[in-house]
Amino acid sequence: MKLFRHGPPGAERPGLLDAGGTPRDLSGEIDDLAGASLSPEGLRRIAALDPAALPVLAPGFRLGPCVGRVPKFICVGMNYADHAAETGAAVPDEPVLFMKATSAICGPNDPLLIPKGSLHTDWEVELGVVIGRRARHVGQGDALAHVAGYCVVHDVSERRDQLERGGQWVKGKSHDHFGPIGPFLVTADEVPDPQALGLWLEVDGHRYQDGNTRTMVFGVAHLVSYISDFMTLEPGDIISTGTPPGVGLGQVPPVYLRPGQVVRLGIEGLGEQRQLTVQA
């Protein structure tokens, strides 16, 4: 299934894209795409509905973040060897984990806000993994059974705040609108191999990133298992799994976003995002 959330910020309602591509409203059946609705039981209940009986959405609605009430936004750094190389970092022996504030989450086509005074706002297309079953100390063989589905994540970064302001990377990762997710939460049954997905990003029509999840250092099953040893993963948690090469920091000379640009990004089978950069 392709699930989404629609409506104004803070008042989004759940929706479903039917087999013919028609967007339909799910708010009469579930309260949100969050928590228990993302469990195996919750997703089975949605899958059992007759899409034709659901109200059709009128054109022009805003797409919100595809998951509501996200408990944790967990990110993985340097998870593509060629991206590590372009930034001058070593390939890690274990996954590099950091957190992104959930207040950074926004819709896939909302404006990308350049923070006040920023000259180093950068792009990163990433595969997002949405947890559906509580996971604690799970083995790699069982890890994917805890995944509700997948989505496109734009892990926007302010590089000066991330790398030069001291402390952890969270400073450069958590500005408002630095975490667009969606357009869809695509359920795991429609993604038979999360390690075989093409992902790309363009700025003003120029393609900077063009990679594939098969080149991850640590795959999705490894990451879910590994992270579950350090914290309990809960339904609605999002794991952003790292970015392929082609970020602005890795260009020679570096290239960063400025107001008035258009960023497009997508992942095979998961949909596309489009953002206009504006000064915050």
C-alpha–C-alpha distance, residues 158 and 110, integer Å: 18
Beta bridge partners of 74: 99, 239
Q: If pLDDT is split at 50, 70 and 90, which confidence band does 48 have?
A: very high
* Mean per-residue pLDDT, 81-104: 89
Q: Are strands 271-279 and 112-114 parallel, antiparallel or unpaired?
A: parallel
User: Per residue in 209-239, pLDDT tens?
Assistant: 999 999 999 999 999 999 999 999 999 999 9
Q: If pLDDT is split at 50, 70 and 90, which confidence band does 166 have?
A: confident
| Cis peptide upstream of residue 183 (ω within 30 degrees of 0) | yes
In three-state secondary structure terms, 231 is: coil
Q: Average model confidence (pLDDT) for the chain?
A: 96
Q: Which of 248, 249, 242, 234 is nearest to 267 (CA)?
A: 242
Q: What is the CATH number of domain 67-279?
A: 3.90.850.10
Tell me which of 95-104, 128-137, 165-174 is least confident: 165-174
Q: If pLDDT is split at 50, 70 and 90, which confidence band does 132 have?
A: very high
Is the distance from CB of 184 to CB of 111 less than 8 angstroms? Answer: no
For the chain, the straight-line distance linking the first and the last C-alpha, in angstroms and rounded, comes to: 35
pLDDT over 90, % of the chain: 94
Amino acid at 245: P
C-alpha–C-alpha distance, residues 256 and 130, integer Å: 29
Which residue ranges make up each domain of the chain? 67-279
| pTM for the full predicted model | 0.97
In three-state secondary structure terms, 208 is: strand
Q: Which of 100, 104, 124, 140 is nearest to 227 (CA)?
A: 140
